[in-house]
Structure 1
């Protein structure tokens, strides 16, 4: 028997297509969404019947579409990748960019944290995968 899914709510806040969603089991009431409107929105789920979630802040800084976003395992930081060729490390408490990663020559399509949050990996349309430390230094390029 197939279980039927029910829409609980709709979150509205982006002016462009939503390109990626990030969640973490450690913070089940937080969602991050990336968009072609060049922003990442941090949402707080309220589970209220009339308003299931509210935007807490918009993370702005990329100059082109944001293609990917992930949350660090401790829930303190987010990492975004953009068609502007950069990655950004965001402090989710303040909503500010703490580090900008520059080195790809084309769109950044995917980003990830290592399990211990000490390394960052990115994939790009420039056909490379880059391994970065959290200081923004590329330590390996494949």
Structure 2
């Protein structure tokens, strides 16, 4: 589950389900917003949400079929094509907006891989992040005070990895 506060003050929650759908909920009323989002072909295992500098809210979801999807929370429609560079189930997703306004997602898979995605283009950012020898079960992303993004990942291999981007010139 993920939650966001929109620029107009509304609070939304985004939930996943075993039948492959994603739902948006108004946290004030407790009521669903729109119809379920259903473009995944298998169970949705992970969800994150982020508000862009222009006020748009996105959800990022990862599924058993190994794909990552981006959704516009206002329209309920998918944004772009599925992102499919993982070779197995996606178990964890996090999203963050960089100081330059670029939205990124970090995803972890049962294949042990960690990917960073540019949500504006739907393309991977660089090579997969490496270090885990087992399934990645959790990811988090944050922007450090100096503006560099940090991804934190945890795996069944009983390790936690920290990936900090190099300072830009």
| Bigger relative contact order (CA 8 A; separation at least 6) | 1
2:105 maps to 1:78: yes
TM-score (norm 1): 0.80
Contact residue 44 and residue 64 of structure 2 kept, 8 A: yes
Contact residue 69 and residue 78 of structure 2 kept, 8 A: no
2:125 maps to 1:98: yes
What CA deviation, in whole Å up to 9, does each residue of 1:78-113 have, x standing for no partner? 110000101001111221111311110100011111
Distance 1:93 1:9, change over 3 A: same
* SS of residue in 2 equivalent to 1:60: coil
Q: What are the equivalent positions in structure 2 for 1:8-47 lying under 5 Å apart?
A: 8-26=34-52, 27-47=55-75
Which residue among 93, 111, 114 is the counterpart of 1:87?
114
2:161 maps to 1:130: yes
Distance 1:124 1:113, change over 3 A: same
Q: Which range moved further: 87-96 or 3-12? A: 3-12
Unmatched 5+ stretches in structure 1: 136-142
Q: Which range moved further: 87-96 or 108-117? A: 108-117
What CA deviation, in whole Å up to 9, does each residue of 1:39-68 have, x standing for no partner? 100112344xxxx42343211100010001
Contact residue 67 and residue 86 of structure 2 kept, 8 A: yes
Q: Which range moved further: 11-20 or 92-101? A: 92-101
Deviation at 1:130, TM superposition (A): 0.9
* SS of residue in 2 equivalent to 1:8: strand
Unmatched 5+ stretches in structure 2: 1-28
The alignment yields a C-alpha RMSD, in angstroms, of 2.1
The number of aligned residues is 130
* SS of residue in 2 equivalent to 1:9: strand
* SS of residue in 2 equivalent to 1:38: coil
TM-score (norm 2): 0.68
